[in-house]
Amino acid sequence: MLGKGASSSLNPRILTTFAGDSRLIRSTRPLPLLLRSNPGIKPVSMQLSRTLSGITNLLFNRSNVDELPGIKRKRLRPGKVSPCRPVPSDIPQPPYVKSRKPPGIVSGPEVHDETGIDCMRASGRLAAQVLEYAGSLVKPGITTDEIDQAVHQMIIDNGAYPSPLGYGGFPKSVCTSVNECICHGIPDSRALEVCLTEVFDGDIVNIDVTVYLNGYHGDTSKTFYCGEVDEEAKKLVQVTKECLDKAISVCAPGVEYKKIGKTIQDHADIHRYGVVRQFVGHGVGRVFHADPVIMHYRNKDPGRMILNQTFTIEPMLTIGSINPIMWDDNWTVVTEDGSLSAQFEHTIVITKDGAEILTQC
């Protein structure tokens, strides 16, 4: 997932570099993106209409409310974050790990020859295997930090680097987004919970895995149940997965990117779910984040898909408000009203017959 820091300007510009290249590329396009907020700028809240088309910028507000009316579960609160885990020196790292420049989106799509596609298949397959293993660990009492430890170890045991680690200062090897967390949840000491009474239901948790293997990133995520969850949560998770599947099914050479957003929004609307606008899919391959920007809602993007191009689709749906709030850690993003959010993500490659999912076992 890709995002851009909060800014006092409603029309931000981005600064980014090509992987392995010292040239700086300035994009003149405004982005609807947020990955972390800029230090020193006080975020504020901005209401966003679900019917709004086009690109919107996000300015955040923080919430100190522990519980809200109508929400059965406790409001998610931060736990203790352990130190960053080490990576063996013989494992190649993405260029942004050593660079102190803020990461950004690289201009131009990720288009590959056959060798590159094979490398993308390898990184995507490993990411999928790691994600399934991480999901098997989801149970009452386990902490998201313990999931991070297991993910980290499996990735480095396979000679790969955990892409989130060190990206713009992110301190962990995986993102774990619980309940109302939309994305970028930092693994910590909070234990996952299960239904203990008739009025308290089990957690849902999205685990977002990206690996850097042989110079290529594979990026995927899935929302898991912790024990028994209520029917409302199950339906949200199911419909979010359906949105991803339907979006992938329309992809092919020459298809406009905006068809992805329309497909997702149409299906979400049937079930009266909100589609988060500030976080998008993106090109991925030799670099973590590249063109195109994949918006998951109705939009007017005129761009078209290219044969052998790789990018992610990663819709985030909510039961209630689509307005996000960022925590003081400058990463964790939760729904404004504490309502549940779910997400699924795949990396795909555009083929002559449609699209191939790269992030599956």
Q: Name beta bridge partners: 25.
A: 16
Residue with tokens 């949105």: 243
Per DSSP, 137 falls in state T
217 known ligand binder: no
184 is an annotated ligand-binding site residue: yes
Segment (H or E) for 71: none
Nearest residue to 201 (alpha-carbon basis) of 180, 226, 224, 230:
230
Query: Per DSSP, what are the bridge partners of residue 313?
Result: 346
3-state secondary structure of 208: strand
Rounded Cα distance, 345 and 41, in Å: 31
| DSSP structural state of residue 168 | G
Pairing mode, if any, of strands 106-109 and 290-294? parallel
Known binder of ligand: residue 345? yes
Helix (H, G, I), strand (E, B) or coil at 107: strand
Q: Please give the DSSP secondary-structure letter assigned to residue 101.
A: S
Which single residue is written with the structure tokens 């293997």?
Answer: 213
The reply to whether 193 sits in an annotated binding site is no
CA–CA dist 214, 260 (Å, integer): 30
Those residues with Cβ within 8 angstroms of residue 359's Cβ, 6 or more apart along the chain or in another chain:
124, 125, 127, 128, 131, 218, 219, 220, 345, 346, 347
296: annotated binding-site residue?
A: no
Distance of CA 98 to the CA centre of its chain: 22
Rounded CA gap, 127 and 360, in Å?
A: 8
**Binding residue numbers for substrate:** 184, 289
**Binding residue numbers for a divalent metal cation:** 208, 219, 282, 314, 345
**Binding residue numbers:** 184, 208, 219, 282, 289, 314, 345
